Amino acid sequence: MIITFRHVDEEYYGVEEIVRPVAELTVIRPQFICIVCEILNIFHTYSARLVSDVKKALKLNEYRLDKNDKAMLHMYCNLTNLIEDFYWNVVDDEFGRKIKAFNEKQYWQKGMRYPDKRLGQYRGLLFEEIVVAAVEKRYTEKRFCTGCQIYINSRRVIALYGEGSASHKETIDIAGWDDNAKYGEFYECKINPERFRNENYRFFMELKKALDVNGIQNYQVGLVSADTMEHLKAQKRYLEEQDESCKAEFMLIGREDIYNMQSSRMPELFSASTEE
């Protein structure tokens, strides 16, 4: 049995410079993760006061920190500067021009000339990178991919949906596989769980079916969100009520649990978060 991944999502300008540094610092402390996730949820629309409002919100959230932990306070100061730079850069027209120089087709097709479009895209990229930073270290020298298709014994996992099965879903945000342990993790990342839709649910169903048929028992398939567990559960129930064929057990990981994803013992840590 062979599992492979094929990266198909587009690359975006500036991820290494302004996105990944925020993500890597965010996952160091659980308080940082919750604060950044709330910031991403709240500040999603461009305004002239955007960066100033983000700065104020970061300052207000200092009450969550241990005032006696000097290392934490120092890291949070650095994180605050990185987040302010992130928001400042993404909505700046010069950043838009750099995106155009990097990939002109993407610039026009994705509406990257508009600050709101850039903000939406890069907020999503930042949240995905936070989840990547929490997971990828245990897949060093193993199979790990983002924005990818999944092949099991050379057969691509694909979900058909819509009228006459005219549409299809064939990618997942994050995938990791350990050949030696025969263990894998597969995650879809959404800042807002309402963006997890019928096609995402159906892809999870097809992926779980393919894993089970091939005798793979040790795996995690899950939705990770910057929102709370309560809202993830509500969205899962809503999709199941709208489409009775949507019936599957998969992980629901809210912002309060993302820090724990860094453990290599995922099945034990998150068994209580699986929706029946």
Render pLDDT for 246-270 as a digit per residue (tens, 0 to 9): 999 999 999 999 999 998 554 544 4
pLDDT of the residue at 5? 97
How far is it, in rounded angstroms, from Cα 136 to Cα 144?
7
Render pLDDT for 89-105 as a digit per residue (tens, 0 to 9): 999 999 999 999 999 99
CA 238 and chain centroid, separation: 21
* Rounded average pLDDT over 18-31: 98
How far is it, in rounded angstroms, from Cα 15 to Cα 1?
34
Mean pLDDT is lowest, of 150-164, 168-182, 247-261, for: 150-164
Render pLDDT for 46-64 as a digit per residue (tens, 0 to 9): 999 999 999 999 999 999 9
Mean pLDDT is lowest, of 101-115, 149-163, 184-198, for: 149-163
Which residue has better confidence, 217 or 131? Answer: 131
Domain boundaries, the chain: 11-134, 136-273
How far is it, in rounded angstroms, from Cα 245 to Cα 83?
41
Q: Token pair for residue 159?
A: 């979900």
As to burial, measured by CB atoms within 10 angstroms (0-12 exposed, 13-18 middle, 19+ buried), residue 177 is buried
